[in-house]
Structure formats: structure tokens, C-alpha cells
Amino acid sequence: MKAVYHEGPKGMTGLTYGELAQTEVKAGEVRISLKAAGLNHRDLFVLTRHSEDDPALVVGSDGAGIVDEVGEGVTNVKKGDEVIVNPGINWKHNTDAPPPEFDIVGLPGHGTFAESIVLPAENAVKKPVHLSWDEAGVVALAGLTAYRALFTRGQVKEGQKVLIPGIGSGVATFLLQFAKAAGATVYVTSRSEEKRQKALELGADYALDSEGDWEDALEGTKMDLVIECVGAATFNKSLKQLRKGGTIVTFGASAGDEVTINLRDLFYGQQNLLGSTMGSAEELDEMISFIEKHQIRPVMDQVYDLKDYKAAFERIEKAEQLGKIGFSISK
């Protein structure tokens, strides 16, 4: 099968589009013939983490397609079912942290940037009917991350003020759509005038310049909830805009992971600083019900052919996208 896989030297240098043998389907597993896949920031990390000594690894955590082969004992799906990939392996219920055996599709096991993938059958989840194949291919990892951060962890409520610094990533655009659907007033920030404009078109109530004075721009309005994935570059600016008793959820640190905070501000402010990442199978089901109910479709940035993987990886590395970057897979 054709696949984008990593082998040998770390980084983009070790990434190739070419022919790779298919994996065999064992008991409890399914093979999904993939129609689409989604690129995530994690795929960049995988290129630096996959060992030079290990065999070729298909990259990618998100995908959608048709069940093609069903292993012994599988009852939840059958051949011909339209499904998306749950990128989280072995995290079933909504617990406060994933179990020790938790893994993510695309490292250590093969990922989705290929014509097919073999997975535990429970990781094949019914495709939301209102989504196109390209949309279904990009929805799971970012949608799930946004859902857990905003609902399970952030406990967003109707009427709350929610700040999303760094609108641009797939998770950030889902956060914007989910928070609006939940009835919140949504504030976003970006360094890019173009992204701020686009965010307003997507429903954001306010769009601030990331590099400006947020306190001035917000005229003293404080946030009930901040969902923060930028990290060091904006973290303390975000904390400053949080109301007493408010919550900041952090799930990313693309601009640095070391931050210095003042404990006294935190405890006099009775504030909550909560870490979040990914989510359980249970939360994925809740997220899918939510986007079906509100007819939410992912914000699509660009869709590439698998063979044009380099352009896609460069685009996410430079953070040029607004929304999700996808791959369309045809045989």
C-alpha cells in the first residue's frame, strides 16, 4: 500500500511517500480502507521521537474510511461500515487521567497516512453522517482534545466569557465552534490580522491582537474560562485576564513550556489551573453527539494528496493554517 512513513534520520529527512507492506488483521482487530486523514501538530513530534533503529512507521493519528476486513470476535463493526479512527488506544472511560497502557495511533503503532490501517476494532467509530470524508478524516484528535479541555475540564457554561489565545490550530477552531454552540461569549487572539478576521467570520465575538495589551483591549472585562495552548508566550497574559474563581485549562505549549506564576495571585484569586490532553473513548462519543446535534463541521484549512505531504508538514510547522489540514486518499 502507498503510505507516508518515517524511517532512519529524525525529522522531515526521514519522511517518505512510498510502498509499504500491509499489516495482518488479528483477532479483535479491523482493517480500515482509508479515504481521508488529518494532520496534527503531534505528527511533527513523532518525526523527532521515532527511533532511527526502529522499522518504518506510518505517521498520522486521524483518519476516516470503510471497514475492509474484520478479525475474529469483532462485533461492534462489520465490513462496509463507514468509520473514523479514535486516535486514543486503551482509554475507554472518562477518568481523571488515561490508564498506563494508553497510546496514541501513529506511534508506537502504524498511523493513518496510508491507504489502510489495522486497529483494535473498538477504535473504529461510526462516522458522523453530516461530515464529508475529508471533514471526517480530521475531526477526532483535535475535536476530542477541544471537547475534554472545554467541557470535561473547563466545565464551560452558557453565558460565560471564554478566551482562546492563539486561534489558528485545529483544536483552537474547534474550541471556538464548541464554545459558541455552548452559548459562551468567545474572545480569541492571534498575531495575524487575517486569522483574527476569519475568526470573527467563524463566530468569535472579539478578536484581540496577541501582541497588544489585552487588558486595554478588554477594558477590564475578566474571563470565566481560558483555554490555553500557546504556553510561555501568552500564559501570564492569559492568567491576568482571569476572574477570581475562574479556570484556565492548558493543553499545549507550542511557544514554550516553562512558566513562572505567582502562587499568591492564584490562591487569593481562588483560581484553577488544569492540565488536559486528548480524551477517552467516552468523550469521543460525547463529542460526536455534540457536533451532530449542532451540525458542526471542522474548519478546513487545506486538503492535500498524500504524495504532497511535504507541503502539508511545512504548513503546520510554520503555523500558517487556520483550522485543519487534511489528506485525501485515493487508490
- Of the CA atoms within 13 Å of residue 143, those in its CB half-sphere come to 30
The residues with which 305 forms a beta bridge, in sequence order, are 328
State yes or no: residue 262 binds a copy of itself (CB under 8 A): yes
Considering only 52, 213, 257, 314, the residue that binds a copy of itself (CB under 8 A) is 257
Q: What are the grid coordinates assigned to 224, written together? A: 470565566
State yes or no: residue 108 binds a copy of itself (CB under 8 A): no
> Distance from CA of residue 214 to its chain's centroid?
26
Phi and psi, residue 164, nearest 5°: -120, 95
Nearest residue (CB) to a copy of itself, 268 versus 311: 268
- Contacts (CB under 8 A) with a copy of itself, residues 60-89: none
State yes or no: residue 44 binds a copy of itself (CB under 8 A): no
- Contacts (CB under 8 A) with a copy of itself, residues 143-202: none
Only one of the segments 23-31, 35-43, 92-100, 305-313 lies at the binding site for a copy of itself (rule: CB under 8 A); that segment is 92-100
Considering only 192, 277, 302, 328, the residue that binds a copy of itself (CB under 8 A) is 277
- CA nearest to 255, candidates 207, 189, 309: 189
**Least CB distance from residue 268 to a copy of itself, whole Å?**
6
Only one of the segments 56-64, 203-211, 240-248, 299-307 lies at the binding site for a copy of itself (rule: CB under 8 A); that segment is 240-248
Cis before 298? omega within 30: no
d(CA 302, CA 324): 7
- How many residues contact a copy of itself, by CB under 8 A? 36
Strand order of the sheet with strand 15-19?
A: 15-19, 2-6, 57-58
The number of residues making up the chain comes to 331
State yes or no: residue 289 binds a copy of itself (CB under 8 A): no
Considering only 63, 88, 98, 128, the residue that binds a copy of itself (CB under 8 A) is 98
Nearest residue (CB) to a copy of itself, 13 versus 270: 270
State yes or no: residue 238 binds a copy of itself (CB under 8 A): no
Considering only 101, 220, 263, 293, the residue that binds a copy of itself (CB under 8 A) is 263
In the chain, how long is the greatest CA-to-CA distance?
62
* Helices 309-317 & 41-49 angle (0-180, nearest 10): 100
Nearest residue (CB) to a copy of itself, 116 versus 280: 280
Cβ pair 290, 178 in contact under 8 A: yes
Cβ pair 144, 176 in contact under 8 A: no
State yes or no: residue 311 binds a copy of itself (CB under 8 A): no
Query: 220: Cβ–Cβ under 8 A, 6 or more apart, which residues?
Result: none
Nearest residue (CB) to a copy of itself, 230 versus 303: 230
**Least CB distance from residue 249 to a copy of itself, whole Å?**
9
d(CA 305, CA 36): 9
The residues with which 70 forms a beta bridge, in sequence order, are 30
**Least CB distance from residue 160 to a copy of itself, whole Å?**
12
Only one of the segments 44-52, 195-203, 262-270, 298-306 lies at the binding site for a copy of itself (rule: CB under 8 A); that segment is 262-270
Cβ pair 164, 223 in contact under 8 A: no
State yes or no: residue 266 binds a copy of itself (CB under 8 A): yes
Binding region for a copy of itself (CB under 8 A): 95-98, 231-232, 235, 243-246, 250-253, 257-277
